[in-house]
Structure 1
Amino acid sequence: MLLKVALLFAMLIQIGAAIIAVSLIRRTRFNGSWILISGGFVLMAIRRLFDFSTLFGNAPVFQKEEVNSWLGIFISILIFVGLIYIREIFNLRDRIDELRKENESAVLSAVIQAEEKARQKFARDLHDGLGPVLSSIKMGLSAIDLQSLDQQNKLIVQRSTSATDQAIVSLKEISNQLSPHLLQNFGLTTAIESFEDQLLGNSDIRFQFEATIGGDRFSYQVEITLYRIVSELINNSLKHGRPTLIQLSLSQQTDMLCLTYNENGQGFEPDQLSEHQGMGLENIRSRVKSMKGIFQLESAPGKGIHVTIQVPAK
């Protein structure tokens, strides 16, 4: 009696599973693998019906065993083939994910390259257009004979000359930030040292920079990406971190360039950044992602920040 109840329960479960499987065929858009697996569920339900019916019939034992054997064979074949199809589906999905990531990196890289080209063009336009105008103004002011002027006009000329000098210096700084000539001419190490000297030279913040790449040169895309990342990290620290010590190291390990950044500022909870505070870090992530690199950030309130970045040394 207990066996009959158990077989009845198993039969109902198998029939229910078969009905659900068949009903999902349309929702899977008649996927071949799901049709095969649904067929396996249907045969399993038929097998349970056969097992249950033999308890009340007088079918010969060899017929029961033969039918069960054939049903088991067909079930195994259908499920095996269905699983092969499912494996191919998962492989295809993984490949699609890889292609999507590659496309995202390619799009980010194209956007960043377009941005750098726009920066370079703007820097050239400033230097070639506004630079000569300011130089002409300075030459004109320098040609004025101050001895022939009264005190008031002499003061006006001196102030105008000073303002022109400041404008020329500012123009050079802006042009260099847009398209750093030291990076193009002398490489990443020299450009970072110059940037640090301009930004932190007159501050109380200690800056320790260690580079083991020496004067090695890399593609301009790699160098400008790392230069922008370092600039963003230092600027973020000055705006939000208030550190007294910044440590930066740059090295090459086989085919990867490794950048490590540490500062002892206020720190923060990485998952609780405001949109304004997180914009700089998001820009860094985008740049690293465009290079198919690795970005790791560790921080906590009062613990400063630790950043590790690895990008291919193309």
Structure 2
Amino acid sequence: MLQVSAKLSLIPEKDIVLIILFSSVFFMLVAAAIVVFFYFSRKKINQKEIEKKNIIIEYQDQQLKAVILTQETERKRIAQDLHDDINSKLNVVKLNCHLLSTPNLSPAEQKEITSIIIDLTNKALDSSRKIAHNLLPPVLEKFGLDAGIKELCLEFESSRSVKIEYNNIVDFDFKNLHNDLHVFRILQELLNNSVRHGQATFISITLRENDNFYSCIYTDNGIGFDTNLSSNQKGLGTKNIESRVRFLNGTLEIKSARGEGTRVNFTF
């Protein structure tokens, strides 16, 4: 200690001041560099967070647009069905009702006109039931999701062009019609895609429970499609499914390739 003090005493006071000055400047520069580094690092992190939020907002906007477009498409379809089917039948019924008031009609003519009115009225009632069924399947409301999916499978199998294997190992001990309808519509969209676009002849649907979540495994043996194509990723059907899964706070995974069929896993 005495030796160090002795050495320091040999250094001129001016040099000591310079050493202290340069040391202070050096440490100040280092401190400034650290501050600048942390400033730009934080700025970059904030910029990344803003970009991430913008991507999420854009994705949510796309999802909302897909839902709105789906709703508008469904409304147009219902309006078209009402106008082309039910409305046209009721107009013919109205004309035939006026014919009944025509004087000097024979009993045979009255009977024929009455028969036409009854037949068209029955057809209009059937059409109205189909429209109501598409809006909210009665079996889904009365008996739950499992019964609704079974009926949906039977409807597609009635065409005899596809075989569907449905396995449900979940006991749905709750009744949430809103969520059930989303799951029902997802499967309806998948079945439509498999039969109409995928040309599938066999489809498998399995429902099971994992860690307080329900999951659905859906596969078909159709022609498949390229999942990397943006047109397939941004199609209305895909966006509709993504939107519904998101509303269910679930996850979605779609795997497909040309000639290898399609596999879809989603949770809800």
Question: What TM-score results when the alignment is normalised by the length of structure 2?
Answer: 0.67
Instruction: Give the equivalent residue in structure 2 for 1:282.
Output: 239
1:149 corresponds in structure 2 to 108
Q: Tell me if structure 2 keeps the 8 A contact 1:109–1:290.
A: no
SS of 2:267's equivalent? strand
- Say whether the 8 Å CA contact 1:108–1:290 is kept in structure 2: no
| 1:101 and 2:101 matched | no
Q: In structure 1, what is the equivalent of residue 31 of structure 2?
A: 77
- Distance in 2, matches of 1:262 and 1:277, equals 21
SS at match of 1:227: helix
2:162 touches 2:195 (CA, 8 Å); kept in 1?
A: no
Matched residue count? 233
Quick one: percent identity of the two aligned structures?
Answer: 23
1:215 — aligned with what?
A: 172
Instruction: Give the equivalent residue in structure 2 for 1:204.
Output: 161
3-state SS in 1 of match to 2:165: strand
Amino acid at match of 2:30: S
In the alignment, structure 2 segments of 5+ residues that lack a partner are 1-13, 101-106
Q: Secondary structure at the match of 2:191?
A: helix
After superposition, residues 18-167 of structure 1 pair within 5 angstroms as 66-89=20-43, 90=45, 93-94=48-49, 97-98=52-53, 101=56, 105=60, 108=63, 112=67, 115=71, 148-149=107-108, 158=115, 161-167=118-124
Per-residue CA shift, 1:51-110, capped at 9, x if unaligned? Answer: xxxxxxxxx976775455333322332233334444544257537735873796599579
- 1:262 paired with 2:216, answer no
Paired residues of 1:295 and 1:310 also in contact (CA < 8 A): yes
SS in 2 for 1:217: coil
Question: By how many angstroms is 1:241 displaced?
Answer: 0.8
Q: Is the 8 A contact 2:221 2:262 kept in 1?
A: yes
User: Residues 281 and 74 of structure 1: is their aligned pair in 2 closer, same or farther, counting only changes over 3 Å?
Assistant: same
The alpha-carbon deviation at position 267 of structure 1 amounts to: 0.8
**Contact preservation (8 Å) 2:220, 2:263:** yes
Provide structure 1 residue ranges, at least 5 long, that are not aligned to the other structure. Answer: 1-59
Pairwise CA distance, 1:290: 3.9
- When residues 61 and 242 of structure 1 are mapped into structure 2, their CA distance, relative to the original with a 3 A threshold, is farther
1 CA distance for matches of 2:179 and 2:130?
22
**Secondary structure of 2:146's partner?**
helix
- Tell me if structure 2 keeps the 8 A contact 1:187–1:217: no
Counterpart for residue 199 of structure 2: 242
Partner of 1:49: none
Give per-residue Cα distances to partners, 1:154-175, cap 9 Å, x unaligned. Answer: 6665555444333322221221
Q: Distance in 1 between matches of 2:221 and 2:15?
A: 82
CA–CA separation in structure 1 for the residues paired with 2:168 and 2:24: 72
Q: Say if 2:252 and 2:267, in contact at 8 Å, map to a contact too.
A: yes
Q: Does the CA-based 8 Å contact 1:210-1:248 persist in structure 2?
A: yes
Question: What's the offset of the Cα at 1:198?
Answer: 1.9
Three-state SS of the structure 1 residue aligned to 2:214 is strand
Give the distance between the partners of 1:72 and 1:223, measured in 2 at CA: 68
The answer on whether the counterparts of 1:105 and 1:291 sit within 8 Å (CA) in structure 2 is no
Residues 225 and 95 (structure 1), Cα distance of their counterparts in 2 relative to 1, 3 Å cut: farther
Instruction: State the TM-score, normalized to the length of structure 1.
Output: 0.59
* Distance in 2 of aligned mates of 1:95 and 1:293: 25
Question: Alpha carbons of 1:161 and 1:256: their partners in 2 closer, same or farther (altered >3 Å)?
Answer: same
Q: CA deviation at 1:222?
A: 2.1
1:133-192 deviation line (CA, Å, top 9, x unaligned): 97xx7xx99xx9xxx526xx7666555544433332222122111122322232211111
Q: 2:223 & 2:58 partners in 1: Cα distance?
A: 37
Q: Which residue of 2 aligns with 1:11?
A: none
2:174 counterpart SS class: coil
Matches within 5 A, 1:175-214: 175-214=132-171
User: Relative to 1, partners in 2 of residues 1:277 and 1:96: Cα closer, same or farther, differing over 3 Å?
Assistant: closer
1:256–1:310 contact (8 Å) kept in structure 2 = yes
**Contact 1:207-1:247 within 8 A present in 2 as well:** yes
